[in-house]
Amino acid sequence: AWEIDLKELTFLKELGTGQFGVVKHGKWRGQYNVAIKMIKEGCMSEDAFIDEAKVMMNLSHANLVQLFGVCTKERPILIITEYLSKGCLLTYLRDTRRSFQATELLDMCKDVCEAMEYLEFKQFLHRDL
């Protein structure tokens, strides 16, 4: 049920690279904005990459990036997630050239805390926070 056909994806632009993969902005079925994470050759085992997707399949919270599906039938393996137009929170805070009101910062903190509380309830540790 989570398998997405590679033909349904359009790759638009690279969003970033990390230790284990590349993330690109794309379209799914020509209409949904998505983030497409692909494993770098030799950086991470395919099993570990698939395990990450399996964990994400069991998580659903308004303050967490939502998994849409995976592409595992061809290489590289892909994880397809919700696209965040403003990027990750850290990048957003660093790149925004304005001062935030205390209430805005508190709302952001509250959202992060709610997501972490949910992950703790699910007995999941978020290692990137």
Residue 129: CB atoms within 10 A of its CB come to: 10
Q: What pLDDT was estimated at residue 43?
A: 67
Confidence class for position 95, pLDDT limits 50, 70, 90: confident
Q: What Cα–Cα distance (Å) separates residue 124 from each residue in 10, 50, 52, 112, 116?
A: 32, 16, 11, 15, 9
**Cα separation, 41 vs 50, whole angstroms:** 14
**Cα separation, 110 vs 116, whole angstroms:** 10
Is the per-residue pLDDT at 19 higher than 90? no
Q: Which residues pair with 81 in a beta bridge?
A: 35, 67
Mean pLDDT of the chain: 89
- Tell me whether residue 51 is one of the annotated catalytic residues: no
User: What stretches of 5-128 show up as alpha helix (H) in DSSP?
Assistant: 46-57, 89-95, 102-121
Give all domains of the chain, ordered by start, each with its CATH number: 6-122 (3.30.200.20)
Q: Which is the catalytic residue, given 47, 95, 111, 128?
A: 128
Most confident of 19-23, 36-40, 110-114: 110-114
Is the per-residue pLDDT at 91 higher than 90? no
Using alpha carbons, select from 93, 33, 28, 31 the residue that is nearest to residue 65: 33
- 37 labeled binding residue: yes
Q: What pLDDT was estimated at residue 40?
A: 75
pLDDT digits (tens, 9 = 90+) for 98-109: 889 999 999 999
pTM: 0.84
For 61, left (φ over 0), alpha (ψ -120 to 50), or beta? beta
